[in-house]
Chain A
Amino acid sequence: MRTILHSDLNNFYASVEMLKHPECKDVPVVVCGSKEDRHGIVLAKNQLAKELGVKTGEVLWQAEKKCKGNLVKFTADFPSYLKVSSAVREIYSRFTDKIEPFGIDECWLDVTASVKYFGTGEEIAEKIRTAVKEEIGVTVSVGVSFNKVFAKLGSDMKKPDAITVISPENYKDTVWKLSAEDLLYVGRSTQKKLNLLGIRTIGDIATSEEKILTNILGVWGKTLHDYANGKDDSPVVDKRAEEGVKSIGNSMTNYKDLYTFEEVKTLILLLSESVAARLRESGLGRAKTVKITVTDNLLQTVGKQGTLVKPTSSALDIAREAYKLFDKLYSWKNPVRGLGVSVCNFTMGLEQLSFDFDVDKESKKDRLDGVVDKIRKKYGNNSVQRARILQDKKYSQTDIKGEHVIAPGNLTGGQEKFF
């Protein structure tokens, strides 16, 4: 039997801000994006703000209202969060080399081979909890179990600064009582479908007939049935080390809500420019797949991906595919607040030429991209811009590539749903 830990840094961004500003330990604190650029939504909150009902993803004025003007706000400082995150991972690496990050603040650890050196899973979890608290000054919740899914559930059960053990003996009493939506990968739409069948808890999923679940959820039905019964044998792997970079993407919460396809196209183009430039820099060749995510003003995120006829590293090709995907995906029930564009499935320099491949045209496009890249490298990312981007003053001043915009995982619960 494996021993898997899932370690979750509690209220991570807010905790780092408290490290920097200990004088704020007795007041509600939130971390948000910059208010002027309309990223003024709550990215994280401390325990006191949580107790007052402040929620991640809500707009600042809502949070301020709940805290009756007593709220302290900090603008997100990603470089510090990354520093703390890697220091915490260094602590994990004292106990195992099998570490799989899930966002900036969560990691799975496979300590199966470490138990003979450092004690049981629970003892290792305790050592990690103490070390993170004493050396870094932030707290973690650790779930200890025999698979990844239950370990993650465990880390959510007791917070903050706590350890929860889910064993083959106790999982029916502990996990099965939880709501179905607590299970990994059960999003809002899956939950609705399950509720229609009267399936409300993880126990209900586990005891349902697998066939019923596959009828409504397809292959996911079987996966969720297995997960609920503790049958998850997915390994803990550091995906970055094993497979290298899997995708390159940028996302952005816009400074104003978007109401028309034309406005969306401009933002997609802006993001595609940065993604294409980063792709060309990466040496991964061209990309075969384009992915978009769209967040509306109610902070509901949807995504879609499509395969290109010809692999590309050009911004325009990526943008054109993204326009198509957006058109198919988005129903315009609500205005758009945020967009993300990413590419994956890289050729790694090995390319299959198609019969209609116009080599001259392609090499001319590559040369043009190469020249633009050189100019940008020498004179700055915004030195050459597309006319479409110049129409919007804010966009023309935004340097996505330079700023390296990070999409906070917890904005969407760390789980984007693709369909």
Chain B
Amino acid sequence: MYYEKIYLTVIAEFNAVGGMRPTVITWQDGKRYIIDKIKVVERAPCKSGGVLPVRYTVEICGQTKYLYYERTNERFFVEREV
């Protein structure tokens, strides 16, 4: 089972006391989705390859999804099974 990365445009909020919260993601077709809730922020390995990404467990339209942040290139991605 292999996974691919889908890099997304993300609007994020930078807190005055530090920390970053993604608030809106833009899907490949241009549709925007609001992140209703960030459940957990943790360091966790991803399945599509990468060193030390940060994993946001988020709730979008009632569904729980993983959104990863890649520090080296400063971008967000989700994973899709191929």
Residues of A with C-beta under 8 A to B2: 22-23
> Quick check: is A242 within 8 A (CB to CB) of the other chain?
no
Indicate which residue in B43, B49, B52 contacts A22 across the interface (CB closer than 8 Å).
Answer: B49
Chain A stretch 135-154: residues in CB contact (< 8 A) with chain B: 135-137
Residues of A with C-beta under 8 A to B49: 19-23
CA distance A22 to B44 in the complex (A): 14
Could you tell me how many residues of chain A have their Cβ less than 8 Å away from some Cβ of chain B?
14
> Quick check: is A87 within 8 A (CB to CB) of the other chain?
yes
Chain A stretch 12-29: residues in CB contact (< 8 A) with chain B: 16, 19-23
> Quick check: is A80 within 8 A (CB to CB) of the other chain?
yes
CA distance A87 to B52 in the complex (A): 8
Could you tell me how many residues of chain B have their Cβ less than 8 Å away from some Cβ of chain A?
12
Residues of A with C-beta under 8 A to B50: 19-20
Chain B stretch 40-60: residues in CB contact (< 8 A) with chain A: 42-45, 47-52
Number of A-B contacts (CB under 8 A): 33
Min distance, Cβ A141 to any Cβ of chain B, angstroms: 19
Residues of B with C-beta under 8 A to A84: 51-52
Min distance, Cβ A122 to any Cβ of chain B, angstroms: 25
> Quick check: is A36 within 8 A (CB to CB) of the other chain?
no
Q: Which residue of A lies closest to B45 (CB)?
A: A137
| CB within 8 Å for A22 and B48 given contacts A87-B43, A135-B42, A135-B43 | yes
| Contact B47–A16 (Cβ < 8 Å) | no
| Contact B47–A22 (Cβ < 8 Å) | yes
Interface residues as binary, A109-139 with B (CB distance below 8 Å gives 1, 0 otherwise): 0000000000000000000000000111100
Chain A stretch 56-115: residues in CB contact (< 8 A) with chain B: 80, 83-84, 87
Residues of B with C-beta under 8 A to A22: 2-3, 47-49
Indicate which residue in B3, B42, B43, B51 contacts A20 across the interface (CB closer than 8 Å).
Answer: B51
Q: Hey, which bits of chain A sit against chain B, CB under 8 A?
A: 16, 19-23, 80, 83-84, 87, 134-137
Q: List 28 A-B contacts (CB under 8 A).
A: A19-B45, A19-B49, A19-B50, A19-B51, A20-B49, A20-B50, A20-B51, A21-B49, A22-B2, A22-B3, A22-B47, A22-B48, A22-B49, A23-B2, A23-B49, A80-B51, A83-B51, A83-B52, A84-B51, A134-B44, A135-B42, A135-B43, A135-B44, A135-B45, A136-B45, A136-B52, A137-B44, A137-B45
